[in-house]
Amino acid sequence: QVLLVESGGGVVQPGRSQRLSCAASGFTLSDYGMHWVRQAPGKGLEWVAVIWYDGTNKYYADSVKGRFTISRDNSKNTLYLQMNSLRAEDTALYYCARPQYSSGWNDAFDTWGQGTMVIVSS
Amino acid sequence: ESVLTQSPGTLSLSPGERATVSCRASQSVSSSYLAWYQQRPGQAPRLLIYGTSNRATGIPDRFSGSGSGTDFTLTISRLEPEDFAVYYCQHYGGSPTFGQGTKVEIK
């Protein structure tokens, strides 16, 4: 069974850091590019970042560029999102998502985790 | 980067009725890179349609997609109780973008 399980969310003060993890099982993580997508409470979906299957390329939404870093450890079947300089507007449910086939991008997301909630508040 | 605008924002229909959701792109996009997702309350999004008109694995044939250029449509031929949810279009050529969502609610 293909499964993605996010963790690491919680309440964090503005300006502080948080690291999210996404544990993959049921497939070979190193075959796929991987994404983070977020959803603010009561709002729509916002793509955050992508990392190529081998970690060589990373791209970010303008809203997080320079503050967030996506990474992966294929030996541990785990995807990460390091979030620095957090702002109130980063409050959201963060999903990791796997594309159908792609090792990079240009592919729809057929597998999603259940999400981990990050609340940025003092 | 193309901005996707969905309409209507909310669609109020009865079970058994036909639902049509529109997604308009601010500039022409490749139909190869247009997807639709369903999100039920408290759940993660689920891929319904990719490449404009291809149903994802396990998706019933009452869901269909069409369109090209800047105008795309998701159609649900006969609404089942489990279809009342929020639907998002997505363009995934390059940096992915999503529409703002359309809620299909029970009338």
pLDDT for B36 equals 98
Chain A residue numbers with beta carbons less than 8 Å from the beta carbon of B29 are none
The answer to whether the CB atoms of B93 and A47 lie below 8 A apart is no
Q: Please compute the mean of the pLDDT values over residues B26-42 and round it to a whole number.
A: 95
For chain B, the average pLDDT equals 97
pLDDT digits (tens, 9 = 90+) for A37-62: 999 999 999 999 999 999 999 999 99
Chain A residue numbers with beta carbons less than 8 Å from the beta carbon of B103 are none
The answer to whether the CB atoms of B46 and A112 lie below 8 A apart is yes
Residues 6 or more apart in contact with residue B15 via CB below 8 angstroms: B79, B80, B81, B106
pLDDT for A104 equals 78
Bridge partners (DSSP) of residue B56 are none
Chain B residue numbers with beta carbons less than 8 Å from the beta carbon of A105 are 92, 94, 96
